[in-house]
Amino acid sequence: MYTSTEPCPMCAGGMVTAGFGQVIYSVSSNEMVEFTGTKPSVRSREILNGISNVVGPILNDEGRQIHDEFDW
């Protein structure tokens, strides 16, 4: 799966059930703190450990631009 932002814990749980082989994201959940002010309780990498390969951030500047334009 390709996504602009590292999946949230709930989405990562769904990915466990779906059995995704790999997740590639642009903006990490730690970076999202800058936009939302809310830190995730757990990172998707921890939930998907041993189930899916988690890769990122990739094309980070482009992903951050999406969030900048959203104007959290």
**pLDDT for the residue 26:** 97
Residues in contact with 66: Cβ distance below 8 Å, sequence separation at least 6, in sequence order = 4, 26, 27
For residue 56, give Cα distances in angstroms to 7, 13, 28, 69, 71.
11, 18, 7, 21, 23
**pLDDT for the residue 50:** 92
Domain limits, the chain: 2-70
Per-10-residue mean pLDDT of the chain, 72 residues long, equals 93 94 95 88 91 96 94 81
For residue 41, give Cα distances in angstroms to 8, 20, 22, 45, 47.
9, 22, 22, 12, 11
DSSP state of 37: S
Q: What is the pTM of this model?
A: 0.84
